[in-house]
A and B are shown apart, each in its own frame.
Chain A
Amino acid sequence: MAFDAATIRQDFPILQQMRSATVPLTYLDNAASSQKPQSVIDTLNTYYRTQNANVHRGIHWLSEMATELYEGARVKLQKFVNAKTRREIIFTRGTTEAINLVAQTWGRANLKAGDVVLSTVMEHHANIVSWQIAAEQYGFTLHYVPLLYDGTLDQATYARLLREENVKLVALTHGSNTLGTINPVADMTQLAHAHGALVLVDAAQTAPHFKLDVQALDCDFLAFSGHKMLGPTGIGVLYGKRELLEAMPPFLGGGDMIATVTLEGSTWNQLPYKFEAGTPAIAQAIGLGAAVDYLNALDLPAANAHEHALFVELYERLSEIAGVRVLGAAPERGALAAFTMEGAHAHDIAQVLDQHGVAVRAGHHCTMPLHQHLGIAASVRASLYFYNTAADVDRFIQAVYAARKTLVS
Chain B
Amino acid sequence: MDETFYRENILDHARHMRNKGLLSPCDFDHEEHNPLCGDHLHLTMRIDDNGIIREVGWDGSGCAISQASASMLGEELIGMSLEQARKLDKQFVLDLIGIPLTINRVKCATLSLKTLLVGLVSSEHWENIEDE
Contact = CB atoms under 8 A, between A and B. Distances in A.
B127 A56 contact: no
A58 B104 CA distance: 7
Nearest to A70: B103
A62 B94 CA distance: 22
A59 B106 CA distance: 11
Q: Report, as a range, how many residues of chain B touch the other chain.
A: 10 to 19
Interface string A268-290: 01110100000000000000000
Contact of A59 (B35, B38, B104, B123): B104
A331 B80 CA distance: 64
Contact of A273 (B35, B38, B104): B35
Contacts of B38: 260
B33 interface: yes
A57 B104 CA distance: 7
Contacts of A86: 131
Contact of A64 (B33, B35, B103): B103
A84 to B, nearest CB: 10
B102 interface: yes
B105 interface: yes
Interface in A54-91: 56-59, 63-64, 67-68, 71, 85-87
Contacts of A57: 36-37, 104
Candidate in A58, A59, A68, A87 with the most chain B CB atoms within 10 angstroms: A59
Interface residues of A, number: 22
Interface in B43-72: none
Nearest to A258: B35
A59 B35 CA distance: 14
Interface string B101-132: 01111000000000000000001100110010
Interface string A187-225: 000000000000000000000000000000000000000
Interface string B91-104: 00000000000111
A273 B127 CA distance: 12
Given A57-B37, A259-B35, A260-B35, A87 B127 contact: yes
A71 B35 contact: no
B35 A271 contact: no
B123 A56 contact: no
Interface string B8-46: 000000000000000000000000010111100000000
Contacts, number: 39
A68 B101 CA distance: 12
Contact of A260 (B33, B102, B123, B128): B33
A253 to B, nearest CB: 14
Nearest to B130: A270
Overall SS of chain A's interface: mixed
B130 to A, nearest CB: 8
A270 B123 contact: yes
A56 B131 contact: no
Given A59-B104, A63-B104, A259 B33 contact: yes
A243 to B, nearest CB: 9
Contacts of A87: 127, 131
B65 to A, nearest CB: 10
Contacts of A246: 124
A67 B36 CA distance: 12
Contacts of A270: 35, 123, 127
B33 A56 contact: no
A85 B131 CA distance: 8
A86 B132 CA distance: 11
Contacts of A58: 104
Contacts of B37: 57
Given A57-B36, A85-B131, A87-B131, A64 B102 contact: yes
Contacts of A63: 104
Contact of B127 (A59, A259, A271): A271
Interface string B71-82: 000000000000
A64 B127 contact: no
Contact of A269 (B35, B104, B124, B131): B35
Contacts of A56: 36, 104
29 contacts: A56-B36, A56-B104, A57-B36, A57-B37, A57-B104, A58-B104, A59-B105, A64-B102, A64-B103, A64-B104, A67-B103, A67-B104, A68-B103, A85-B127, A85-B128, A86-B131, A87-B131, A242-B124, A256-B35, A258-B35, A259-B33, A260-B33, A260-B35, A260-B38, A269-B35, A270-B35, A270-B123, A270-B127, A273-B35
6 nearest interchain CB pairs?
A64-B102, A269-B35, A259-B35, A67-B103, A260-B33, A68-B103
Given A270-B127, A271-B127, A273-B35, 15 more contacts: A56-B36, A57-B37, A59-B102, A64-B102, A64-B104, A67-B103, A68-B103, A85-B128, A85-B131, A87-B127, A87-B131, A259-B35, A260-B35, A260-B38, A270-B123
